[in-house]
Chains A and B, each alone.
Chain A
Amino acid sequence: GDSVTQMEGPVTLSEEAFLTINCTYTATGYPSLFWYVQYPGEGLQLLLKATKADDKGSNKGFEATYRKETTSFHLEKGSVQVSDSAVYFCALITISNFGNEKLTFGTGTRLTIIP
């Protein structure tokens, strides 16, 4: 079945450090890929998405490129801030043979940025 594997956290970085959170997936067909972010005490928010191979999603300084050859969608940011501290979820949507879409999440990676 479909699955998403994220690097395990927690991840702790200093402010202005470079961030990479790895995400790989297993899916049939051609999924759409997403990163969601959950700030403390809040629900999940869509951070960025990519719907086909080689697409790059970007938002708030974060980027992720849909790599079909390596089945990956790694999240990157060049210079993190304390306000980026949150839990990040990689996710994918696939369409079943019956036309139903299925959204699958990774387990989440907790990121803490220290001043």
Chain B
Amino acid sequence: DSGVTQTPKHLITATGQRVTLRCSPRSGDLSVYWYQQSLDQGLQFLIQYYNGEERAKGNILERFSAQQFPDLHSELNLSSLELGDSALYFCASSVDTGRNSPLHFGNGTRLTVT
């Protein structure tokens, strides 16, 4: 058990809809990362927050947004969903943002867009 909790585990929704994925980091971790894993693209970094502030941005679409709250949990919002957004979305956390700080991953939320 990594200590990172993601909810829900599975989500099925229709095109054009909006969903929110939630992540609770490991106790004591200030940094939260969001990743998208799909068969054709592999693991893609979306965005990172550190102690409530956006720290780094990856290949995140404009239809997607995220935030980290004062209690350090994070939410990833996906809107105007398309079939191609179907993927496994991972949240990870780490103590800080240092290069020697390992990431601890949640079990992911599987999103299916129909």
Chain A interface residues toward B at CB < 8 A = 31-32, 34, 36, 41-46, 49, 51, 89, 93-95, 100-108
When distances are taken between beta carbons in the complex, the residues of chain A under 8 Å from B99 are 31-32, 51, 93-95, 101
| Cross-chain contact of A46 among B4, B43, B45, B102 (Cβ < 8 A) | B102
Size class of the contact patch on chain B? 20 to 34
> Chain A interface secondary structure, helix, strand, loop or mixed?
strand
The answer to whether B108 touches A104 (Cβ under 8 A) is no
**Cβ–Cβ contact B108 & A43, under 8 A:** yes
- Determine if A106 and B103 form an interchain contact, defined as CB atoms under 8 angstroms apart: no
B86 located at the interface, meaning its Cβ lies under 8 Å from any Cβ of chain A in the complex:
no
Nearest CB of B to A68, in Å: 16
Query: Chain B residues near A89 (CB, 8 Å)?
Result: 43
Apart from A34-B102, A43-B2, A43-B105, what 5 extra A-B contacts exist at CB < 8 Å?
A: A36-B105, A44-B90, A49-B100, A49-B102, A101-B98
**Shortest beta-carbon distance from B45 to chain A in Å:** 6
Contact partners of B42 in chain A: CB under 8 A: 105-108
8 Å CB contact of A44 from B92, B98, B100: B92
B49 lies within 8 A of chain A by Cβ: no
Contact assessment for B100 and A46 in the assembled complex, using a CB-CB cutoff below 8 Å:
no
Q: Can you name the residue of chain B whose Cβ is closest to the Cβ of A46?
A: B102
Residue-wise interface mask of B (78-114) relative to A, using a CB-CB cutoff of 8 A (1 in contact, 0 not): 0000000000001010000111101111111000000
The 10 A-B residue pairs with the shortest CB-CB distance in the complex, in nearest-first order: A43-B105, A107-B42, A44-B105, A105-B43, A46-B102, A93-B99, A32-B99, A43-B107, A100-B56, A43-B106
Complex contacts, A32 vs chain B, CB 8 Å: 99-100
When chains A and B are docked, how far (Å) is the Cα of A103 from the Cα of B92?
Answer: 12
Task: Specify the chain A residue showing the minimal Cβ separation from B98.
Answer: A101
Report the Cα distance A101→B43, complex, angstroms.
17
- Verify B103–A103 contact, CB threshold 8 A: yes
* A-contact 0/1 string along B34-49, CB 8 Å cutoff: 0100000011010000
Are A101 and B33 touching (Cβ within 8 A)? no
Cα separation A103 to B107 with both chains bound (whole Å): 19
